[in-house]
C-alpha cells in the first residue's frame, strides 16, 4: 500500500553512502508511512501506526462537533493517563504503613522535588475524573446515545463509573490523615448495612474489625494494582465497542441521495463491514459526511489533551491538596465528612443508614444498568434534549438534580453533629 | 432455506446417537469448568478473610474495681468502651456508634455521635438521630487476680452489671 522506494541492493554503496543514509534508514524502519500528503497515506496512518490504529480511517463530522460530545470521554481518559503517571511516581516515595504513610505525605511536601506538585496533580485529577466521568454519562443519556446497538457499551460505562468511584475511595485512605480515616470508617460501615453479607463484606474489605494497618494495605493494593488493571481492561472494551457499534452516535441520515450530490450513482457496493453486518449500500448513496481521521480527529484529540493537562497544571499550581492532622482513632473530627461525591450518600445516610447507604443507591445503580433495556425506542438519537425523549430526559435530569442538591446540602449546610448550618 | 438446517440437525442427531460418549464428555467438561470456577470463588473468599487479625485484643483487663470509684463514667478511647460504675456494680458500654462506626462522646444526656448526630441516653438506648440500634453492653467478669476483664466478643443485655 505504502509507496516504497526501491530497496538498495547489497554492496551497492560504499561505507560512506551507508553512513550517509543511516538516519533516513533508521527513520524509515520505524515509521512505515511518510507524513501524509494524499488521502491514501492519510488512510494508511490508521493501519501502520500502533498508536493511531485505534482510529478509524474516516470519522463522521458529527463526531468532531465539540458541542456534541464536549470531549468528555476523552477528557476522562486523559485524566486517567495523568493519574497513572503521577500515581506511579508517587509510589516511589509512599509506604502503606500506618506508622509511615503520614510522614511520607509530609516528606512529599517538604523534601521530595516536585512532591507537592505531583500530589496536587494526582488529587485534583482524581476529583476531576469522577466529575468528568459523571458528566460524560449525562452527555450520553441526554443525546440518547445508549440506544441500540450501543446498549452494552452503556453498561460498560456504568461499570467504569463504579470502578472510578471505588478507585477514588481506596485512594482516599492512603494519606492516613483524619479526613482519610474517618471517611473510610463511615464508608465501610455503609457497606456493612448490605443485607446478609454486609458485615462479612466489611470484614473482608478491611481485613479486620476496624480501619487499621490491614485496611491500609488492602486499600493500597486495590488502588495501585487491582482496580487500575480492571479499569484499563474495561476502557479497552469500551473503546473497541465504539468502533464495533458503528462509531459515536449521530442523528440518523436520510438514506435517499441528496438531489445534487454530484456523486456518480453506483448500482450496489458492499462495504467491508457488509460481510459482517449484512449488506448496506452506502457508497454513492448518501452524501459523504465523513472526514479523514488524520488530521481532523487527531487535532481534536490533541486539543482536548492540551486543554485537560493545562487545566490540571494550573489548578495544581494554585491549590494544594488538603492534608489534615494525622490519624487519631480516638477523636473523629466534627463533623466527619466523606469525599464530596459521597456527601450526597452521607446526607441520605443521616436519615436512614440502610435506605440512604444501600437501598436507594442500589436502586439507582440497578436502574442505570437497565436504562438501555427499558427504553427500547429508537428515536431522538444523536441530538441533545431531543423533543421525542422529553420523558426520559426529564426523569434523568430530576435524578441528577436531586443528587446534586443532596451533595450541596452535605457539603455546605452540615455542621457539627451533622446539624443544619447556614454557610454564609 | 429450511432444508439445510433440518438436514444438519438430523446429521447432528445421528452423530449424537452414534457418539453418546462424546456428549457425556462434553457435559462432564462443562460441569468440571463450572465447579472449578465456583471453587475458585470460595477459595478466594477464604483467602481474603483473615484468620488472625492484628488489631487490639477483644478481651482485656482494665484494672482493679477500686480504680473505678462509684459514680465513675469514663470512656476508654483505645478499646472503645465506656466503663460505668454505680454503687458496687460495674458495666461496659460500647462507644462505637451503631450507625456508621464513629466514636460517640460522653454527653450530659448520655452519648452523642459527632458524625451523623445520633444521640443515646445513659444506658445507650437511642434517643435521636439515625442510629438503628442501642449501644451494646459487653460482658464484664472478675479475673482470679482481681482484675476487671471486659470481653467485647460477648454482648450482654443492657442493664447487666457485675457486682463487685
Q: A70 — alpha (psi -120 to 50), left (phi > 0) or beta?
A: left
- Residue A48, pLDDT > 70, answer yes
Chain B residue with CA closest to A349: the answer is B130
In this structure, of A53-62, A72-81, A270-279, B6-15, the range with the lowest mean pLDDT score is: A270-279
CA dihedral (A29, A31, A33, A37) positive or negative: negative
The residue that leads in pLDDT, A181 or A191, is A181
Min Cα separation B23/chain A (Å): 31
The pLDDT score that the predictor gives to residue A171 is 95
- Residue A105, pLDDT > 50, answer yes
Chain A residue with CA closest to B153: the answer is A209
Give mean pLDDT, residues A102-108: 95
Mutation target to probe the A interface, by most A beta carbons within 10 A, among B77, B106, B115 is B115
CB pair distance less than 8 Å for B102 and A417? no
Give the other-Cβ count within 10 Å of B2's Cβ: 6
What's the pLDDT tens digit per position in A70-88? 999 999 999 999 999 999 9
Of A182, A200, A353, the CB nearest to B132: A353
Question: A335 pLDDT band (50/70/90 cuts)?
Answer: confident
- Residue A134, pLDDT > 90, answer yes
Give mean pLDDT, residues B137-141: 92
Q: Percent of chain A beyond pLDDT 90?
A: 51
What's the pLDDT tens digit per position in A227-237? 999 999 999 99
The pLDDT score that the predictor gives to residue A1 is 47
Calculate ∠ Cα A108-A109-A114, nearest 5°: 70
| Mean pLDDT of the residues in chain A | 87
Mutation target to probe the A interface, by most A beta carbons within 10 A, among B52, B55, B152 is B55
Min Cα separation A373/chain B (Å): 28
What is the edge-to-edge ordering of all strands in the sheet holding B110-112? B105-107, B110-112, B119-120, B126-128
Of B53, B115, B132, the CB nearest to A418: B115
The C-alpha cell at B114 is 459527632
CA dihedral (B9, B11, B17, B23) positive or negative: negative
Number of residues that make up chain B: 164
Give the other-Cβ count within 10 Å of A44's Cβ: 21
Q: Percent of chain B beyond pLDDT 70?
A: 95
**Under 8 Å between Cβ of B134 and B98:** yes
Instruction: Identify residues of B whose CB sits under 8 angstroms from chain A CBs.
Output: 45, 48-50, 53-55, 77-78, 99-103, 112-117, 129-130, 132
Distant-in-sequence, close-in-space partners of B65: CB < 8 Å, separation ≥ 6: B85, B90, B142, B146, B148, B164
The residue that leads in pLDDT, B138 or A258, is B138
- Residue A101, pLDDT > 50, answer yes
ipTM for this model: 0.74
- Residue A254, pLDDT > 80, answer no
What's the pLDDT tens digit per position in B55-112? 778 888 988 888 888 888 888 888 889 999 988 889 999 998 888 888 888 888 889 8
Min Cα separation A51/chain B (Å): 36
The pLDDT score that the predictor gives to residue A199 is 86
B129 neighbourhood in chain A, CB within 8 Å: 350, 418
Give mean pLDDT, residues A378-405: 92
What is the DSSP code (8-state) at residue A177? B
- Cα pseudo-dihedral B154, B156, B158, B162, rounded to 10: -100
Min Cα separation A165/chain B (Å): 20
Give mean pLDDT, residues A99-114: 94
Of A189, A204, A351, the CB nearest to B101: A189
A183 neighbourhood in chain B, CB within 8 Å: none
Name the most confidently modeled range: A3-17, A110-124, B123-137: A110-124
B113 neighbourhood in chain A, CB within 8 Å: 417
CB pair distance less than 8 Å for B130 and A353? yes
- Residue A17, pLDDT > 50, answer yes
**Under 8 Å between Cβ of B144 and B56:** no
Question: A137 pLDDT band (50/70/90 cuts)?
Answer: very high
What's the pLDDT tens digit per position in A413-423? 888 777 788 87
The pLDDT score that the predictor gives to residue B118 is 86
Min Cα separation B135/chain A (Å): 15
Of A190, A203, A208, the CB nearest to B100: A190
**Under 8 Å between Cβ of B135 and B120:** yes
CA dihedral (A182, A188, A194, A199) positive or negative: negative
List, in sequence order, every residue forming a beta bridge with A420; answer none if it has no partner. A414
SS3 B110: strand
Give mean pLDDT, residues A117-131: 96
- Residue A283, pLDDT > 60, answer no
- Residue A187, pLDDT > 50, answer yes
Min Cα separation B131/chain A (Å): 8
The residue that leads in pLDDT, B36 or B152, is B36
Distant-in-sequence, close-in-space partners of A176: CB < 8 Å, separation ≥ 6: A98, A101, A102, A105, A216, A326, A327
Calculate ∠ Cα A404-A409-A411, nearest 5°: 90
Q: How far, in whole angstroms, is CA B44 from its chain's centroid?
A: 19
The pLDDT score that the predictor gives to residue A5 is 56
List, in sequence order, every residue forming a beta bridge with A303; answer none if it has no partner. none
- Residue B13, pLDDT > 80, answer no
Instruction: Identify residues of A whose CB sits under 8 angstroms from chain B CBs.
Output: 182, 185-186, 188-190, 192, 200, 203-204, 207-210, 212-214, 329-336, 346, 349-354, 356, 416-419
Q: Which residue has the cell 439515625?
A: B130
The pLDDT score that the predictor gives to residue B1 is 45
The pLDDT score that the predictor gives to residue A299 is 93
Amino acid at each position: 500500500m505504502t509507496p516504497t522506494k526501491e530497496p538498495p541492493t547489497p554492496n551497492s554503496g560504499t561505507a560512506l553512502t551507508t553512513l550517509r543514509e543511516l538516519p533516513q534508514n533508521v527513520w524509515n524502519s520505524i515509521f512505515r508511512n511518510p507524513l501524509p500528503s494524499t488521502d491514501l497515506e492519510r488512510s494508511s496512518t490508521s493501519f501502520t501506526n500502533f498508536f493511531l490504529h485505534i482510529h478509524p480511517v474516516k470519522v463522521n463530522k458529527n463526531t468532531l462537533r465539540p458541542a456534541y460530545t464536549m470531549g468528555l470521554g476523552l477528557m476522562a481518559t486523559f485524566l486517567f493517563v495523568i493519574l497513572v503517571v503521577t500515581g506511579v511516581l508517587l509510589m516511589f516515595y509512599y509506604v502503606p504503613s500506618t506508622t509511615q504513610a503520614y510522614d511520607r505525605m509530609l516528606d512529599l511536601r517538604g523534601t521530595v522535588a516536585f512532591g507537592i506538585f505531583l500530589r496536587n496533580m494526582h488529587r485534583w485529577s482524581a476529583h476531576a475524573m469522577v466529575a468528568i466521568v459523571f458528566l460524560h454519562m449525562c452527555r450520553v443519556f441526554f443525546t440518547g446515545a445508549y440506544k441500540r446497538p450501543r446498549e452494552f457499551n452503556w453498561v460498560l460505562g456504568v461499570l467504569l463509573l463504579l470502578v472510578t468511584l471505588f478507585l477514588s475511595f481506596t485512594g482516599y485512605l492512603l494519606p492516613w490523615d483524619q479526613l482519610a480515616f474517618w471517611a473510610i470508617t463511615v464508608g465501610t460501615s455503609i457497606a456493612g448495612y448490605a443485607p446478609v453479607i454486609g458485615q462479612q463484606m466489611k470484614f473482608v474489605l478491611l481485613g479486620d474489625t476496624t480501619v487499621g494497618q490491614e485496611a491500609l494495605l488492602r486499600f493500597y493494593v486495590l488502588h495501585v494494582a487491582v482496580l487500575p488493571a480492571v479499569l484499563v481492561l474495561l476502557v479497552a472494551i469500551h473503546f473497541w465497542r465504539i468502533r464495533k457499534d458503528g462509531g459515536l452516535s449521530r442523528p440518523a441520515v436520510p438514506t435517499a441521495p441528496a438531489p445534487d450530490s454530484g456523486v456518480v450513482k453506483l448500482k450496489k457496493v458492499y462495504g467491508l463491514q457488509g460481510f459482517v453486518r449484512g449488506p448496506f449500500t452506502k457508497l454513492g448513496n448518501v452524501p459523504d459526511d465523513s472526514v479523514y481521521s488524520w488530521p481532523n480527529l487527531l487535532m481534536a484529540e490533541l486539543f482536548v489533551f492540551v486543554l485537560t493537562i493545562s487545566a490540571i497544571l494550573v489548578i495544581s499550581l494554585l491549590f494544594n491538596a488538603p492534608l489534615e492532622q494525622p490519624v487519631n482513632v480516638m477523636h473523629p473530627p466534627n463533623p466527619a465528612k466523606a469525599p464530596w461525591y459521597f456527601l450526597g450518600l452521607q446526607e441520605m445516610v443521616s436519615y436512614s443508614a440502610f435506605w440512604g447507604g444501600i437501598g436507594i443507591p442500589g436502586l439507582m445503580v440497578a436502574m442505570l444498568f437497565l436504562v438501555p433495556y427499558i427504553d427500547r425506542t429508537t428515536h431522538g438519537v444523536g441530538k441533545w434534549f431531543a423533543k421525542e425523549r422529553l420523558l426520559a430526559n426529564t426523569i434523568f435530569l430530576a435524578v441528577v438534580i436531586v443528587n446534586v442538591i443532596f451533595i450541596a446540602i452535605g457539603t455546605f449546610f452540615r455542621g457539627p453533629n451533622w446539624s443544619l448550618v447556614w454557610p454564609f | 432455506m429450511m432444508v439445510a438446517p433440518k438436514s444438519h440437525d438430523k446429521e447432528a442427531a445421528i452423530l449424537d446417537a452414534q457418539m453418546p460418549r462424546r456428549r457425556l464428555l462434553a457435559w462432564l467438561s462443562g460441569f468440571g469448568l463450572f465447579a472449578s470456577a465456583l471453587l475458585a470463588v470460595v477459595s478466594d473468599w477464604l483467602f481474603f478473610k483473615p484468620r488472625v487479625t492484628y488489631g487490639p485484643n477483644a478481651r482485656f483487663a482494665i484494672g482493679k474495681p477500686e480504680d473505678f470509684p462509684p459514680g465513675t463514667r469514663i470512656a476508654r478511647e483505645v478499646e472503645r468502651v465506656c466503663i460505668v460504675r454505680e454503687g458496687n456494680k460495674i458495666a461496659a458500654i460500647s462507644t462505637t456508634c451503631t450507625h456508621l462506626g464513629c466514636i460517640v462522646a460522653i454527653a450530659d444526656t448520655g452519648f452523642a455521635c459527632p458524625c451523623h448526630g445520633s444521640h443515646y441516653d445513659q444506658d445507650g438506648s437511642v434517643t435521636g438521630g439515625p442510629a438503628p440500634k442501642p449501644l451494646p453492653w459487653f460482658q464484664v467478669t472478675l479475673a482470679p487476680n482481681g482484675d476487671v476483664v471486659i470481653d467485647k466478643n460477648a454482648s450482654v443485655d443492657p442493664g447487666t452489671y457485675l457486682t463487685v
